[in-house]
Structure 1
Amino acid sequence: MIGAQNDSTIQENLIERFMSLPNQTWDAIIAEASNNLTVLHDIVRIKQIVGILKTNIRACKAIGSGFLIQLGRIYLDMINVYKCMSGYITQALHDKPPTMVRDPVIRGMLSVKKESLRLISEFVTRSNDAETIKNQLLGPLLEAVLVDYANGIAASREPEVLSTMAIIITKLESLVEDHVGAIFLQTFECTLDMINKNFEDWPEHRVNFYQMIQAVVKHSFNALLKLTSEQFKLVLDAIIWAFKHTMRNVADIGLEILYHLLESMSRESSAAAVFFKEYYTSVIEHLFSVVTDSTHTGALSMHANILAFMFCVVEKGQLTVTLNESAPDNVTYVKEYVGTLLRNAFPHLTLQQVQVFVTGLFSLDEDNAQFREHLRDFLVQIREYAGEDESDLYLEERQQALKQAEGEKAALRKAVPGILNPHADFEKAVAIDEDMS
């Protein structure tokens, strides 16, 4: 009802009345804390703050962009509470074992930080005023969150910091361009250090980290072009590390990021010349190492799309730079490079088999469907020789067929009155929302 109110004055009054009880409790806690910060170390107060923040999150989801009046009322105090609790956590965990994060007070404070970030994320997602977000919310948030994230131990770093940054970058796009460097400086290397030991640890940080990179590549690409060559190489290495994951969700995000990066880079003529000169063969090598690895299942279509794009920009002469000075042209050089790469990796293949495959990569690079089938035929050839199962090469088609069959079945059931519960979708949405909370 409040969210549907078109009169902003009436809506603000309704929001104020609706949030009066939690606001009274909030004001009382803040008043106590202004005289004695140790109030924020009390587990009862901490639980109250978490409850108030969750109430605000639910209200924000329902009201939408009009919630700014309420968020503005508590925002600076919420940021100050975030800072105070961050300082306490850092001091409490200094020279202590990571298991200290299980302490009830520490866990409660981490929950306060998490719910604060969730509230900001929910509002930014629903807001239609990017300028207000930039001018009123962004500065205090970055000041409170980034240094704390960089300086904290791994166990105290909230993955919501990364997801919040991703949401803000997606919403603000070019408006946040000047802040991306600072965001990367405080979050990139410390997060990468957490996730580059293996493919399993810190799964939530891992996914949110790549969603943040994806947001920059898709919505604030110019910020990438402002990075130093060392910083850009670190970003590209992280993307390559992503699609080498055996976790499908991370690998898929990595491939999507790379595809958007290549497409965007190809439109920047001066930057593209430097990028492809430096990284073209390296990216090709990593792509083939993953797509020919039987431990990586699915995502064949995206691999094919990226490889087709890589060969297409060479064949069409879109590269304004020579990849290798000793080669007569880029097409000849890439054919020789890929042929040598494959012969070294799969010595059982004959020269003719490799030549036919490489020729097809260029001949079919403008037809993604045929290119994918050509690539799949080559992978089947490799796996048959090694005695490996090639059924996963058809995984995407099977998943699509099952999804289509399930959709047809659901449509048929909906067509018959009385079979389905008309309130099932609403109840499911409520249950999911409660689980997330």
Structure 2
Amino acid sequence: MRHLRRVLVATGAVLAVATTPVAAAPAPTPTTAPPASAADAAVEPGTIVQEGGPLTVPSGEEGPVTTRLTVTLPPGVTGPLRGTRLAFKAETRRPEARPGLRFSSTCAVNGGAFAPCAWTSPDPETVQETWLVLDLPGAEVPAGSSTVTYDITVDVPSGMEWLDALSATLELADTTGVVARGDVGLRIVPGTPEAWKRSSLHARDRAGVLWQYDATGRDDTLLAPRKRVGGGWNVYTAITKLDRTTAANNTGDLVARDRDGVLWYYQGGLRDDAPFEARVRIGGGWNAYTRIVGLPGGDLVARDRDGVLWWYEGSGTARWKFAPRVRIGGGWNAYTNIVSFGEGLVAHTATGRQWRYEKSDDWDPSVPFKPRREVGGGWNGYTALAGMGLVVQDPSLAARTTDGKLFVYGVDRWGENSDPYRPRPAGWGWNIYDLLV
């Protein structure tokens, strides 16, 4: 034990301090802590778990897919839970897009009946990001339980795969504040385009029978088994579509020129048993042209024997289908083949070089196309070409090889910097046909 050997000075006096041992001070007696404040007593929010992780949503005709959110609440939370919003932000920006308007969903709470729940997208003129907002309904907490479930269906039409991965944080609250929190994700992937979007390819055999092949929208089997349109089509020396015929209801028109130079109009029949209505005579003199090509929307271009290309604007009536022709320009005899592709044309030379003519942004019938740009070579290895609409990608081009194999070429992006063609095999034995359209 240490001894004190100090002198303390107090009020000017010197005090002698005894040198007896000093005992250690006893430890302080614990006391009860004061009650916590309401903020200190706040309960950590519960969890929201998306079963199976982000939901994969096909963009196409597959229909709705379902995800389940399981909400686990902290002890003592009895609800009800207020409805809230799931706000997804797309990483890809398209200023003109309001994608939420094309989504549809239904929601069910705690295993109950499904009811519509609405998607919205803010006006892109007022919101910089591309948002998709899903409004969820409120929920009652089952008696004696701490768990709530949400089942949500999501249905997306084709053409929305550009959204890719979407994520959002969902917070559910009661009257005291947020009581559960968790992440929710969607992954929008390419699906099967709807039948009304998918194109058809027509082929005429040497007996004069016209056959229809509908695009399936699938990579593994591009074209469905053929359907017979009818006989007698070998009376025509040229056949071209004025719009894309589709797999859904036989929309799309075509025109055909007979050996006397008369042009006939066939309107889409809108039913399987009659793909086209009875023909209507347009007029004579069409033997002046060596190539006739229809374009989406009902217009037509025709090349005369001097290599001049002419534009015929569709007038919108069957009997008088075209307005008076307008001269586009000369030099088109440089091409051995010209077909529709997208909203424009592709043309290739005898050496196999192919050129693409895309539709002009300005509406001038005398200058309907942008300056041509070269696509590539080797196209003289094909004996027939036919422009199509959407098969797997839009636009597409069907091409038959000398040994009768069929390939469908599409581009992954359309525009000035589009990717090279992506060929897909579509079958064999196509040498039985003398015309593809």
Q: Same fold by TM (over 0.5)? A: no
Q: Give the structure with the larger strand fraction.
A: 2
Q: Give the structure with the larger helix fraction.
A: 1
TM-score, with length taken from structure 1: 0.23
